[in-house]
Structure 1
Amino acid sequence: MRKMHALGLIAFSALVAVHCSSLKKETPSEEETNSIVATGAELQTVSDQFKFTEGPASDKEGNVYFTDQPNDDIWKWSPDGSLVKFMDTTGRSNGLYIDDEGYLLAAADQDNELWKINLQDKSHEVLLKGWQGMKYNGPNDMWLDKKGGIYFTDPLYKRVYWTDTLYEQTTCNVFYLPPGADTPIVQDTTLIRPNGIIGTPNQKYLYVADNTGKKLYRYEIGADGNLQNKMLFADTGSDGMTIDNEGNIYITGDGVTVYNSSGEKIHHIPIDRSWTANVTFGGPDQDILFITAMNSVFTLKMNVHGVRW
């Protein structure tokens, strides 16, 4: 009897140990709890049907518009998972941004222009087509301040669809178009290829990536919108960029790498593609990270959220 009782205790103890062990595995670690990524969230492939995806921009409902530039298309992803081609013949749109009036702004580099697209009837007007009598290198990405001013980058990336190879600009510039103005003001001429651009919600700082120079710079935004007090933020380049409600900066290239507002690397999201081009937040609560990478687009549920809307 005692022997059987002892064996029963051993079996019971083993069962309890297994049960407690399983409970421990289900409990998130401190690292998981404090992560910017939602606990248990995994990268989801939305689609891999494209040629090269770029320029994601979210509207107030959380829909994300993005470009398939080689195919000259703009697509729309909705939070319910639906995916539809929104527009073709887009001027080879690259970076996108939705303004406060609901218009879709596009860096349309087929003819080196900046477009304003009506989301209702898909008509467009050309906002900008040149500077000081010279065509742009190829507007790439943009960010709007709360006044409606437009900051945009103008690097030179030779496109196979260009028939004119006469490059008129002598530098690759960062521009600011003040609200209501017809002519942008050049802000920086010293970057090799200014690319990704994003500002802080308080309108205090603007971040610009020199992708070729492998540098990320931070500027103070003056009261008149002009940039000042440029400083090196991180020794890294980036294609597109975004920012979350905690002030973390998301850069692209090798997956998505996240830096906090002090310039410290805090997270990396690996993407199984050779290049990650751009990133933004979407969804009704702006807590879905939307990532464009080569022929694909991905989503990832986050603990943080975007701050655009």
Structure 2
Amino acid sequence: MKLPLILLIILFFTFTGIAAEHPKATNHHPEVGKPPSPSAIIEDSATFEKLADGFKFTEGPAVSLDGKIYFNDIPNERTHVFDPATRETTVFREETGRANGLFFTTEGSLLACEGGNRRVTLTGADGTIRVAADAYKGGKLNSPNDVVPDKHGGFYFTDPRYGKGGGDLEQDVMAVYYVNKEGDIFQIAGDLTKPNGIILSPGQDTLYVADPGAETIWSYLVKGPGKLGPKRKFANVGSDGMTVDTNGNIYVTWTDIIVFAPSGMELARFTPPEKPANCLLVGNELYVTARTGFYRIKLQTSGIE
């Protein structure tokens, strides 16, 4: 049956009007929630500078009060120090007990996770080394890995176990601990698979813990010294080391270096010459321990002083 011309015209405009009100779906993502350009973190022209090499496995960068950068060569059991003023790298300590994570306190003492010795030590300005933590409830720690001090005079550290060395395990879990300024130790997170990197937010109101065993970074609300709220999944990345900038962005090392906003949104990703193990932001310079080398790259952001 043939339809009158006027009816065909009416039908045409009716259906085209519906189509205009309900546009066809596309893969375009709206601007709302769009992350800032990676150039806000790192310029396209930025390149990695090798500061030192010839190591076996570098880890644990930490900055001293006078601006020098300390880091470990774990298998060789040495702590090295890089002086940005002279660009020289020298040995600070030998026979470190396979020290891994390092962090300086506000008083200038150096916290060190001696995984091979199954303890956390504190090296004073005079070079004296004392044990800050080596046991929990009568059992030796597993293998302290990474550490971060807080503004209350205490510190948090992770205690996984990698490899078969160091003797039998005496702890039932691989956990996160807190040691207060009096030296008392508390297990504050015992439901993780294999905790590794650990860092506090700039205001120290959030604790981030990398759990490579679960391929997850967890975040905890800090309610007080060593007091945490329930864990929340921050990112699906099994990171090793972490650092933070003044905006609260988290820099994590995995196959690349990945930068996350405090919301968990990925902001940038860049690749060092070697697979990174840990990183540290000092001013606008990111220092990276990566396998046999020690590197630096300039960013558009700044670390916490």
TM-score range, shorter chain: 0.7 to 0.9
Letter aligned with residue 279 of structure 2: V
The percent identity for this pair of structures is 34
Report the CA distance between 1:159 and its aligned residue.
Answer: 5.2
* Partner of residue 178, structure 2: 176
Provide the secondary structure at the position in 1 that maps to 2:139: coil
2:135 equivalent among 126, 130, 137:
130
The equivalent of 2:294 in structure 1 is 297
User: Is the contact between residue 196 and residue 209 of structure 1 (CA under 8 Å) also seen in structure 2?
Assistant: yes
**Superposed counterparts of 1:130-209, under 5 Å:** 130-158=135-163, 160=165, 162=166, 164=167, 166-180=168-182, 182-209=183-210
Please tell me whether residue 117 in structure 1 is matched to residue 123 in structure 2: yes
TM-score normalized by structure 2?
0.84
Given that residues 122 and 132 in structure 2 are in contact (C-alpha distance below 8 angstroms), is that contact kept between their aligned partners in structure 1? yes
Q: Larger C-alpha radius of gyration, 1 or 2?
A: 2
Q: Is the 8 A contact 2:103 2:148 kept in 1?
A: yes
CA change 1:61–1:252 in 2 (3 A) is: same
Count of equivalent residues: 269
Q: How does 1:254-265 map to 2 (within 5 A)?
A: 254-265=255-266
CA–CA separation in structure 2 for the residues paired with 1:293 and 1:102: 26
Give secondary structure in 2 for the equivalent of 1:297. Answer: strand
Aligned with 1:70: secondary structure?
coil
Three-state SS of the structure 1 residue aligned to 2:143 is coil
Between the aligned partners of 1:213 and 1:229, the Cα distance in structure 2 is: 17
Alignment correspondent of 1:13: none
2:281 maps to which residue?
A: 281
Find out whether 1:306 has 2:299 as its counterpart: no
**Which position in structure 2 is the counterpart of 1:59?**
64
**Contact 2:140 2:170 (8 Å CA) reproduced:** yes
**Paired residues of 1:210 and 1:238 also in contact (CA < 8 A):** yes
**Contact residue 241 and residue 280 of structure 1 kept, 8 A:** yes
Instruction: Decide whether the 8 Å contact of 2:256 with 2:271 is kept in 1.
Output: yes
Query: Which SS does the other structure have where 1:203 is aligned?
Result: coil
Task: Give the C-alpha shift of residue 254 in structure 1.
Answer: 0.7
Deviation at 1:48, TM superposition (A): 1.9
- SS state at 2:56 partner: coil
CA distance in 1, matches of 2:287, 2:164: 26
Once residues 135 and 219 of structure 1 are traced to their aligned partners in structure 2, the CA distance between those partners, rounded to angstroms, is 26
For residue 194 of structure 1, give the secondary structure of its aligned residue in structure 2.
coil
Structure 1 residue aligned with 2:96: 90
What is the SS of the residue equivalent to 1:257?
A: strand
Q: For residues 159 and 256 of structure 1, what CA distance do their matches in structure 2 show?
A: 28
Query: Aligned-pair distance for 1:251?
Result: 0.7
2:289 partner amino acid: T
* Paired letter, 2:272: I
Letter in 1 for 2:57: F
* Contact kept? 1:137, 1:155, Cα under 8 Å: yes
**Structure 2 CA distance, aligned partners of 1:31 and 1:222?**
34
2:155 is matched by which residue type in structure 1?
A: I
Q: How far off is 1:295 after superposition? A: 0.8
Unaligned runs of 5+ in 2: 1-35
CA-CA distance at 1:38 after TM superposition: 4.9
Q: CA deviation at 1:39?
A: 6.5
CA RMSD of aligned residues (A): 1.6
**Cα distance in 2, alignment partners of residues 223 and 87 from structure 1:** 34
Q: In the aligned structure 2, how far is the partner of 1:236 from the partner of 1:253?
A: 8
- Equivalent position SS for 1:229: coil
Q: Using a 3 Å threshold, how does the CA distance of structure 1 residues 294 and 190 change in structure 2: closer, same or farther? A: same
Where do 5+ consecutive residues of structure 1 fail to align?
1-29
